[in-house]
Amino acid sequence: MNFLHRRANRLHLEEVPLAHLAESYGTPLYVYSAGALTAAYQALEGALAGVPHRICYAVKANPNLAVLRHFARLGAGFDIVSGGELARVLAAGADPGRVVFSGVGKSRTEMRAALEAGIHCFNIESEAELARLDGVAGELGRVAPVSLRVNPDVDAKTHPYISTGLKQNKFGIPIEEAPRLYRLAAGLAHVRIVGLDCHIGSQLTELAPMADAADRVLALADRLAEDGMPLAHIDLGGGLGIRYRDETPPDAAAYGALLAGRMCGRRETLLVEPGRYLVGNAGVLLTRVEYLKRGADRSFLIVDAAMNDLMRPALYDAWHAIEVADPQPERVPVLCDVVGPVCETADFLGRERLLAAAEGDVLAILSAGAYGMSMSSTYNSRPRAAEVMVTGNEIHLIRERDSIASLMAGERLPA
């Protein structure tokens, strides 16, 4: 089912014309389709149905409370990386017993909050972190459930900034050191081993690295079981890619078959931590053209969204499709860069695009549901965008636009 479609040439998300939303709520505006969130979740759920599993949505991809509540109601667990994400998951009404806590730098305060909430598991990334967690749990008179995140040293074949499974990356425990750390963990009074975890990177478009990582992790799980440390779950991370342009990532069925095939007949529950796959293609960023600036060398469509709203093009040279919401027949197509008002050359949303647009037209930047709003900032003192969720023809404002006052709210002048 395609949630983004044209009717009478007007771009719609579900039953709602996007230009109408831009008019009502202003721009820049993030818009998500509830139906697309559900469809992606259910595709993955169906693909994993053959084995005991839990989908833990990676909150960092899109942490809006309405998105979290939507997945909680579908039965998801959550993968968090900070105390802030824990608070959001709890505020959305999710069950803390379905939360896994990832990340290399968990603070004592974050550990305490997660222990008090009663999360399912801490994914431990170093010996020092293991020792700290044992200490914090001891102070609270609790026992912390842990997995070790191992680094399987496989090349995920993705952008270097979002590749995490190589030896030279800061993530995880080298897989060859894991048995020693598991034995160490088994001897600690305030931790309890429950699982094994890995995550090799994001926007993965090939199955081979995923298969490779899974095989290495499962071989380690077997070895641990032989050593008397059977595990309750295996967490194979997130990373399933989506189509932005011409990528051909595996679909949910192929990904699910790969994982379920390997887990079939095993005693552990499978956990996965998808972010982008569940939300990426469910969202668009709407922006309005301020100016068409024609130049001898290049023309620019200067729009009211910028790198602070969608950082992916500036940071990873990421490509997002850009479409005119309501094409006007009198416009002439122009080869142009779509840029924002921020004072940086990296402030582009698309380069060398052929677009028939002019001042006042609304553009939709596609595949912006993941790592769009969540990575936005107020750089150049630009209020962060509003967010809307649509379902059928219903429209819900799920985040108000920042006000200028809110940008300055915490600031104090020295006496």
Give the tokens for residue 165: 């499974």
Give the tokens for residue 352: 């060398």
Selected from 165, 238, 249, 350, the binder of ligand LLP by CB under 6 A is: 238
Q: Is 77 a binder of ligand LLP (CB under 6 A)? A: no
Structural Rg of the chain based on CA atoms: 23
Output the DSSP codes for 294-312: --SS-EEEEES--TTT--H
**Nearest distance from residue 57's CB to ligand LLP, in Å?**
9
Q: Which stretch binds ligand LLP (CB under 6 A): 27-35, 87-95, 237-245, 293-301?
A: 237-245
**Nearest distance from residue 379's CB to ligand LLP, in Å?**
16
Q: Is 56 a catalytic residue?
A: no
Say how far apart CA 218 and CA 345 lie, in whole Å: 46
Q: Is 71 a binder of ligand LLP (CB under 6 A)? A: no
Q: Is 203 a binder of ligand LLP (CB under 6 A)? A: yes
Give the tokens for residue 346: 């990296």
Say how far apart CA 262 and CA 284 lie, in whole Å: 35
Q: Is 233 a binder of ligand LLP (CB under 6 A)? A: no
**Nearest distance from residue 112's CB to ligand LLP, in Å?**
21
Q: Is 202 a binder of ligand LLP (CB under 6 A)? A: yes
Selected from 85, 273, 323, 347, the binder of ligand LLP by CB under 6 A is: 273
**Nearest distance from residue 268's CB to ligand LLP, in Å?**
18
| Residue 340, CA distances (Å) to 12, 291, 314, 402 in order | 24, 10, 11, 18
Say how far apart CA 320 and CA 312 lie, in whole Å: 9
Q: Which is nearer to ligand LLP, 281 or 289 (CB)?
A: 281
Selected from 89, 308, 371, 384, the binder of ligand LLP by CB under 6 A is: 371
Selected from 34, 44, 58, 136, the binder of ligand LLP by CB under 6 A is: 58
Give the tokens for residue 44: 């993955």
Say how far apart CA 329 and CA 42 lie, in whole Å: 39
- Which one is catalytic: 56, 121, 264, 343? 343
Output the DSSP codes for 117-167: HT-SEEEE-SHHHHHHHHHHHHHHT--EEEEEEEE------S-GGGB--ST
Q: Residues 138-167 vs ligand LLP: string with x where CB under 6 A? A: ------------------------x-----
Residues between 310 and 339 that touch ligand LLP (CB under 6 A):
312, 316
Neighbour tally for 334: CB within 10 Å = 16
Q: Which residues bind ligand LLP (CB under 6 A)?
A: 58, 61, 79, 102, 162, 199, 202-203, 237-240, 273-277, 312, 316, 371, 375
Catalytic machinery residues: 343
